[in-house]
A = this chain, B = another copy of it.
Protein backbone atom coordinates (compact mmCIF):
# COMPACT_ATOMS: atom_id res chain seq x y z
CA UNK A 1 0.00 0.00 0.00
CA UNK A 2 1.28 3.43 -0.82
CA UNK A 3 1.50 6.10 1.87
CA UNK A 4 -1.47 8.41 1.67
CA UNK A 5 -1.34 12.14 2.00
CA UNK A 6 2.10 11.96 3.56
CA UNK A 7 3.74 15.30 3.26
CA UNK A 8 6.09 17.42 5.21
CA UNK A 9 5.96 20.95 6.48
CA UNK A 10 8.72 23.03 7.92
CA UNK A 11 9.15 22.98 11.68
CA UNK A 12 11.86 23.39 14.23
CA UNK A 13 12.94 20.26 16.04
CA UNK A 14 14.20 20.79 19.54
CA UNK A 15 17.50 19.01 19.21
CA UNK A 16 18.27 21.25 16.30
CA UNK A 17 16.96 24.35 18.02
CA UNK A 18 19.20 23.90 21.00
CA UNK A 19 22.28 23.42 18.81
CA UNK A 20 21.32 26.46 16.76
CA UNK A 21 18.38 27.36 14.52
CA UNK A 22 17.85 25.09 11.55
CA UNK A 23 14.85 23.88 9.61
CA UNK A 24 13.57 20.41 10.27
CA UNK A 25 10.52 18.57 9.02
CA UNK A 26 7.16 17.57 10.39
CA UNK A 27 5.72 14.47 8.82
CA UNK A 28 1.99 14.95 8.35
CA UNK A 29 -0.35 12.09 7.50
CA UNK A 30 -3.94 13.11 6.99
CA UNK A 31 -6.48 10.37 6.33
CA UNK A 32 -9.53 12.60 6.69
CA UNK A 33 -12.03 12.28 3.86
CA UNK A 34 -12.23 15.48 1.82
CA UNK A 35 -15.15 16.95 -0.08
CA UNK A 36 -13.26 16.69 -3.36
CA UNK A 37 -12.62 13.00 -2.79
CA UNK A 38 -16.35 12.53 -2.21
CA UNK A 39 -17.30 14.37 -5.39
CA UNK A 40 -14.73 12.34 -7.35
CA UNK A 41 -16.11 9.07 -5.98
CA UNK A 42 -19.66 10.08 -6.92
CA UNK A 43 -18.54 11.01 -10.43
CA UNK A 44 -16.72 7.68 -10.72
CA UNK A 45 -19.98 5.87 -9.84
CA UNK A 46 -21.86 7.80 -12.51
CA UNK A 47 -19.15 7.20 -15.08
CA UNK A 48 -19.17 3.49 -14.26
CA UNK A 49 -22.95 3.27 -14.75
CA UNK A 50 -22.71 4.85 -18.19
CA UNK A 51 -19.63 2.75 -18.95
CA UNK A 52 -21.43 -0.51 -18.20
CA UNK A 53 -24.36 0.59 -20.36
CA UNK A 54 -22.06 1.48 -23.24
CA UNK A 55 -20.12 -1.76 -22.90
CA UNK A 56 -23.37 -3.70 -22.95
CA UNK A 57 -24.51 -1.95 -26.13
CA UNK A 58 -21.26 -2.46 -27.95
CA UNK A 59 -19.91 -5.74 -26.53
CA UNK A 60 -22.83 -7.57 -24.96
CA UNK A 61 -23.85 -8.69 -21.49
CA UNK A 62 -20.83 -10.83 -20.60
CA UNK A 63 -18.48 -7.89 -21.18
CA UNK A 64 -20.81 -5.61 -19.23
CA UNK A 65 -20.90 -8.15 -16.41
CA UNK A 66 -17.11 -8.34 -16.30
CA UNK A 67 -16.95 -4.57 -16.09
CA UNK A 68 -19.60 -4.47 -13.35
CA UNK A 69 -17.61 -6.95 -11.29
CA UNK A 70 -14.56 -4.71 -11.50
CA UNK A 71 -16.62 -1.68 -10.54
CA UNK A 72 -18.21 -3.42 -7.55
CA UNK A 73 -14.86 -4.73 -6.33
CA UNK A 74 -13.21 -1.32 -6.69
CA UNK A 75 -15.96 1.00 -5.49
CA UNK A 76 -18.01 -0.91 -2.90
CA UNK A 77 -17.00 -2.41 0.42
CA UNK A 78 -18.37 -5.96 0.14
CA UNK A 79 -15.02 -7.35 1.32
CA UNK A 80 -15.74 -5.76 4.71
CA UNK A 81 -18.53 -8.27 5.30
CA UNK A 82 -21.58 -6.50 3.85
CA UNK A 83 -22.76 -3.37 2.10
CA UNK A 84 -26.05 -1.77 3.10
CA UNK A 85 -27.41 -1.48 -0.46
CA UNK A 86 -31.05 -0.73 -1.29
CA UNK A 87 -31.11 -0.34 -5.08
CA UNK A 88 -33.79 1.78 -6.73
CA UNK A 89 -35.90 -0.95 -8.30
CA UNK A 90 -35.66 -4.05 -6.12
CA UNK A 91 -38.68 -5.65 -4.46
CA UNK A 92 -39.27 -7.83 -1.41
CA UNK A 93 -38.08 -10.32 -0.36
CA UNK A 94 -34.89 -9.33 -2.21
CA UNK A 95 -35.03 -5.58 -1.60
CA UNK A 96 -31.71 -5.32 0.22
CA UNK A 97 -28.54 -6.43 -1.51
CA UNK A 98 -26.06 -6.91 1.30
CA UNK A 99 -23.95 -9.36 -0.72
CA UNK A 100 -21.74 -8.86 -3.77
CA UNK A 101 -23.83 -11.38 -5.72
CA UNK A 102 -26.97 -9.38 -5.03
CA UNK A 103 -25.36 -6.16 -6.22
CA UNK A 104 -24.00 -7.76 -9.38
CA UNK A 105 -27.38 -9.29 -10.23
CA UNK A 106 -29.05 -5.92 -9.80
CA UNK A 107 -26.64 -4.18 -12.14
CA UNK A 108 -26.38 -6.74 -14.93
CA UNK A 109 -29.02 -9.43 -14.33
CA UNK A 110 -28.52 -12.99 -15.52
CA UNK A 111 -28.53 -14.60 -12.07
CA UNK A 112 -31.24 -17.17 -11.48
CA UNK A 113 -30.94 -16.57 -7.74
CA UNK A 114 -32.34 -13.07 -8.36
CA UNK A 115 -35.05 -13.84 -10.91
CA UNK A 116 -36.60 -10.36 -11.04
CA UNK A 117 -33.33 -8.62 -11.92
CA UNK A 118 -33.08 -7.55 -15.54
CA UNK A 119 -29.93 -5.46 -15.19
CA UNK A 120 -30.33 -1.85 -14.18
CA UNK A 121 -26.99 -0.85 -15.69
CA UNK A 122 -27.88 -2.38 -19.05
CA UNK A 123 -30.72 0.03 -19.77
CA UNK A 124 -28.81 2.30 -22.16
CA UNK A 125 -27.87 5.08 -19.78
CA UNK A 126 -26.10 7.90 -21.61
CA UNK A 127 -25.50 10.43 -18.86
CA UNK A 128 -25.42 10.59 -15.06
CA UNK A 129 -25.16 13.63 -12.80
CA UNK A 130 -25.14 14.08 -9.05
CA UNK A 131 -26.86 16.98 -7.27
CA UNK A 132 -26.05 16.81 -3.57
CA UNK A 133 -28.44 18.31 -1.05
CA UNK A 134 -25.94 17.73 1.74
CA UNK A 135 -22.54 16.24 2.48
CA UNK A 136 -21.55 15.26 6.03
CA UNK A 137 -17.93 14.41 6.73
CA UNK A 138 -17.15 13.00 10.17
CA UNK A 139 -14.88 10.43 11.70
CA UNK A 140 -13.64 8.04 9.07
CA UNK A 141 -16.56 8.49 6.69
CA UNK A 142 -18.50 10.88 4.49
CA UNK A 143 -22.20 10.64 3.80
CA UNK A 144 -24.06 12.34 0.98
CA UNK A 145 -27.75 12.79 0.24
CA UNK A 146 -29.35 14.25 -2.83
CA UNK A 147 -30.49 13.47 -6.33
CA UNK A 148 -28.84 11.51 -9.06
CA UNK A 149 -30.19 12.26 -12.51
CA UNK A 150 -29.61 9.65 -15.14
CA UNK A 151 -30.44 10.22 -18.80
CA UNK A 152 -31.46 7.42 -21.13
CA UNK A 153 -30.53 7.19 -24.80
CA UNK A 154 -33.93 8.69 -25.60
CA UNK A 155 -32.99 11.76 -23.54
CA UNK A 156 -35.49 11.01 -20.78
CA UNK A 157 -34.16 11.90 -17.33
CA UNK A 158 -34.81 9.64 -14.35
CA UNK A 159 -34.26 11.27 -10.98
CA UNK A 160 -33.59 9.21 -7.87
CA UNK A 161 -33.16 10.16 -4.22
CA UNK A 162 -29.85 8.74 -3.10
CA UNK A 163 -27.81 8.36 0.07
CA UNK A 164 -24.22 7.16 -0.02
CA UNK A 165 -21.79 6.56 2.82
CA UNK A 166 -18.14 6.31 1.86
CA UNK A 167 -15.20 5.16 3.96
CA UNK A 168 -11.52 5.32 3.06
CA UNK A 169 -9.81 1.94 2.77
CA UNK A 170 -6.20 1.14 3.69
CA UNK A 171 -5.08 2.14 0.21
CA UNK A 172 -6.63 5.59 0.66
CA UNK A 173 -9.54 4.91 -1.74
CA UNK A 174 -13.16 5.71 -0.92
CA UNK A 175 -15.54 2.77 -0.88
CA UNK A 176 -19.34 2.76 -0.74
CA UNK A 177 -20.54 1.00 2.42
CA UNK A 178 -24.12 2.34 2.40
CA UNK A 179 -26.23 3.01 -0.70
CA UNK A 180 -29.94 3.73 -0.47
CA UNK A 181 -31.63 4.73 -3.71
CA UNK A 182 -35.34 5.34 -4.23
CA UNK A 183 -37.72 6.85 -6.73
CA UNK A 184 -39.19 10.15 -5.56
CA UNK A 185 -42.53 9.91 -3.81
CA UNK A 186 -45.13 10.47 -6.46
CA UNK A 187 -47.32 12.70 -4.36
CA UNK A 188 -50.59 10.96 -3.66
Q: Taking beta carbons and an 8 Å cutoff, which residues of A are in contact with B?
A: 1, 3-6, 9, 11-18, 24, 26-35, 79-82, 84-86, 88-93, 95-96, 98, 116, 129, 131-141, 143-149, 157, 159, 161, 163, 165, 167, 169-170, 177-178, 180, 182-185, 187-188
A114 to chain B, nearest CB (A): 14
Given contact pairs A24-B93, A139-B140, enumerate 12 new A-B contacts (beta carbons under 8 Å): A1-B79, A6-B82, A14-B92, A14-B146, A24-B131, A26-B135, A32-B33, A80-B170, A89-B185, A89-B188, A92-B159, A180-B180
For the complex, what is the distance from the CA of A149 to the CA of B98, rounded to whole Å? 20
Number of copies: 4
Assembly CA distance A31 to B98 (angstroms) = 16
Q: How many Å lie between the Cα of A6 and that of B4 in the bound state?
A: 26
- Cβ-defined contact, B93 with A147, below 8 A: no
Please, which residues of chain B bring their CB within 8 A of the CB of A169?
Answer: 170
